[in-house]
Structure 1
Amino acid sequence: MKKRLTLLAQTSFSALCAVSIASGAMAGELNILTWEGYADPSVIEPFTAATGCEVSATYVGSNDDFAPKLAAGGGVFDIVTPSIDSTYALIEAGFVQPIDVSRVPAFKDIYEQFRTADGILKDGKVYGVPYAWGAIPFMYRKDKFDTPPTSIKALWDPALEGRISLWDDKSALYVAARLNGNMNIYELSDAELAAAVDKLVEQRPLVRKYWATAGELVDLYKSDEVWISNTWGGYQSGLLAAENIEVVEFIPEEGAEGWMDSNMIVADTPNEECAYQFLNMAISAQGQEGVFKVNGYSSTNPVAAKEFMSDSEFSALHQDDPAYLDSLLLWENLGDRLPVYTNAWNSVKSQ
């Protein structure tokens, strides 16, 4: 029944697109700046077949990549998919344009926490369509630990020297701050931020490598170079499972961050029609099933998710428990402190 519903959703989407193609409204191309797995052929090829919109994807390894690439100008990109802590900076800089939600009918089906998030709103206008969400848990190779780790202290364990990895992202500061007992990770004072930097500098000799992409972290685990790290929940663990490498994800005693990614339209894109069709596809059953199957992430549109997830999958991904978000430290806009945090993280890497 689930498969039949998904097929119906895809058929309806394709039929709608076919009408628009016939009128010549959508033939074009889209250049998107996004994350690994968000432009998988299993989703993009049916979208192109249905709309005539060719899609080219450039991948980022960190949210810090979006603004510089857009600032370079030249009209290179049409859609970007930043996380909720980086969206407002793009809005303030004028890099993205308001979205006419009347052209995105399923927007109303998105979880209220996401469609009303400060990071995608300004002056009563909507600038992003929430696409996927999840946690930033930690992960370890099961065969390397007699006692399962329960704290992020494990990433500072001298016994694991050379077997530790952290994401090459300012969020490493969030990890260190929590270890220091500072839970106000998005509002760290200069002193607290300096303490987080000190903690990361202390850790650096233990770190095998700061991972930049999902594939890089997977390779580090496969080559037996890394035994413990943070991770994009559900994604790298799934890739490793396919390689018969057993890893375990866990939420540490110090808590975990949460994230939400949104599709945003780059200001003055010449490919607006294709952009809106992409936004609609991304939150349809077709698009949401794609990111679920490829990345293992939770869906922002629970109505669509019910069409392809089993009851157990729906529950396991907390689709039936939006309050789960309250247990996560959902990424927030850092405002004027963004460059301060970014510079702090760069200072760690320059040591």
Structure 2
Amino acid sequence: MKKIIAAASCLTMLSTPALAAGSVNVLTWEGYADPSFIGKFEEESGCKVNATYVGSNDDFAPKLMSGGGVYDLITPSIDTTALMIDLGFVEPLETDKIAGWKNIYPKFLGLDGIQRDGDYYGMPYSWGAIVLMYRDDAFQTPPTSIADLWNKDLAGKVSLWDDKSSIYVAARRNGDMNIYTLSDEQIAKAREALVEQKPLVRKYWATAGELVDLYKAGEVVISNSWAGYQSSLLAKEGIKVTEFVPKEGAEGWMDSWMVVKDTPNKECAYKFLDMQLSELGQCGVANVNGYSAVNPVAAKNCMSPEQFKALHQDDPAYIDSLMIWTALGDRFEAYTNAWNSVKAQ
């Protein structure tokens, strides 16, 4: 992390100029700037949305270092937001400019990763779980455990997300539930488990579309997944899959919009933030990605009762049951190095 901070200090001065006013340039996840709802925003606001997509939280820092001035808004997950603040990439939010701010679930507003010294730097946007998923026609007995990802009978049919969170998966398989505060010994055990699993893995997936294609082709029958997203895409293709929370529990995530420091496109940026917390943005991401909304008031107004319930919008206990991602702090490098060494095997 020290190396990243040092590099960022130099590169911030060399960042490329931002695009012209009247636009908002977002570095975000697939679906967060989908034309199905962004088109209406552009028409009503006069702000053109230019989107660049990431496949992992580890993409944000390098992309901002190489050209921070290109982006106005980013959407890192809660385990990465604090790093964006530490690196000086983002600025405090003017929350009074965001109409739905007070309707956000208190649990998300209470998370340390989006605030510093009395200021908020992140606006919660969407949340969900990292569940396991399997192709129905590949199993007579449905899987129930993370251990099923190590089933040798499924050699060549397994996939994991190409992300340091794979260490969390392997740690839980080993019985280590303190997944965000693993010791060096526990990380080493998780790494060993992933190396053991590697011959069973068809491919480590990087994007939602890549995992969908692997399932469609029958190349993968079990994996982890962003709850609600890849399964909905596969359903549209007529591929029957089932998501499940393994007996070892599931990780939870929350993504937040953050304003890149000194953006000249602030007017459009705040119009965009206001929209994303409104019914248009909250149901926009729910309908495209299958993710849950952070503003239950907006969600209730734009979702059917069935969708509202299916996305656990009325179930705070479900949110509390998830192992919400946490910033790794000084342990970030240890986790990342362990995952990279697995891939290098």
- Counterpart-to-counterpart distance in 1, 2:317 and 2:241: 27
- Counterpart-to-counterpart distance in 2, 1:300 and 1:137: 19
The equivalent position to 2:44 in structure 1, one of 20, 31, 50, is: 50
- Counterpart-to-counterpart distance in 2, 1:182 and 1:71: 34
Aligned to 2:86: 92
Conserved? CA contact 2:21–2:264, under 8 Å: no
Aligned to 2:259: 265
Q: What is the TM-score when the length of structure 1 is the normalising length?
A: 0.92
Aligned to 1:77: 71
| Structure 2: stretches of 5+ with no match in the other structure | 1-19
SS in 1 for 2:314: coil
The equivalent position to 1:301 in structure 2, one of 292, 295, 298, is: 295
- Counterpart-to-counterpart distance in 1, 2:68 and 2:321: 41
Aligned to 1:61: 55
- In the alignment, is residue 345 of structure 1 matched against residue 339 of structure 2? yes
The equivalent position to 2:31 in structure 1, one of 33, 37, 41, is: 37
Conserved? CA contact 1:27–1:52, under 8 Å: no
Aligned to 1:222: 216
- Counterpart-to-counterpart distance in 1, 2:44 and 2:321: 40
Conserved? CA contact 1:27–1:51, under 8 Å: no
- Counterpart-to-counterpart distance in 1, 2:199 and 2:156: 8
Aligned to 1:206: 200
- In the alignment, is residue 336 of structure 1 matched against residue 330 of structure 2? yes
Aligned to 1:15: none
Q: Which moved more, 1:305-314 or 1:63-72?
A: 305-314
Runs of 4+ in 1 over 2 A off after TM superposition: none
Q: Which moved more, 1:225-234 or 1:333-342?
A: 333-342
Conserved? CA contact 2:26–2:74, under 8 Å: yes
What percent of counterpart residues are identical? Answer: 65
Q: Deviations over 1:21-49 (max 9, x none)?
A: xxxxx961111000011110011111110
Deviation at 1:155, TM superposition (A): 0.6
Deviation at 1:309, TM superposition (A): 1.3
Conserved? CA contact 1:33–1:59, under 8 Å: yes
- Counterpart-to-counterpart distance in 2, 1:74 and 1:275: 15
Deviation at 1:72, TM superposition (A): 1.4
Deviation at 1:74, TM superposition (A): 4.8
- Counterpart-to-counterpart distance in 2, 1:138 and 1:318: 17
Conserved? CA contact 1:107–1:115, under 8 Å: no
Give the alignment of 1:1-351 within 5 angstroms.
Answer: 28-351=22-345
Match for 1:45: what amino acid? G
Q: Deviations over 1:259-290 (max 9, x none)?
A: 00000000011100100011000010010110
- Counterpart-to-counterpart distance in 2, 1:45 and 1:151: 41
Q: Deviations over 1:70-123 (max 9, x none)?
A: 111350110000100000000011000100111112110000011121110000
- Counterpart-to-counterpart distance in 2, 1:170 and 1:74: 23
Conserved? CA contact 2:124–2:255, under 8 Å: yes
Deviation at 1:323, TM superposition (A): 2.4
- Counterpart-to-counterpart distance in 1, 2:295 and 2:47: 23
Deviation at 1:311, TM superposition (A): 1.8
SS in 2 for 1:37: coil
Deviation at 1:343, TM superposition (A): 1.0
Match for 1:262: what amino acid? S
Match for 1:95: what amino acid? F
Deviation at 1:312, TM superposition (A): 2.3
- Counterpart-to-counterpart distance in 2, 1:145 and 1:55: 43
Q: What is the TM-score when the length of structure 2 is the normalising length?
A: 0.93
Aligned to 1:13: none
- Counterpart-to-counterpart distance in 2, 1:126 and 1:249: 34
Q: How many residues were matched structurally?
A: 326
Match for 1:226: what amino acid? V
Deviation at 1:321, TM superposition (A): 1.4
Conserved? CA contact 1:163–1:207, under 8 Å: yes
Conserved? CA contact 2:28–2:74, under 8 Å: yes
- Counterpart-to-counterpart distance in 2, 1:302 and 1:318: 10
Aligned to 1:8: none
Match for 2:136: what amino acid? K
Conserved? CA contact 2:108–2:124, under 8 Å: yes
SS in 2 for 1:136: strand
Conserved? CA contact 1:132–1:262, under 8 Å: yes
SS in 2 for 1:263: strand
Conserved? CA contact 2:21–2:265, under 8 Å: no
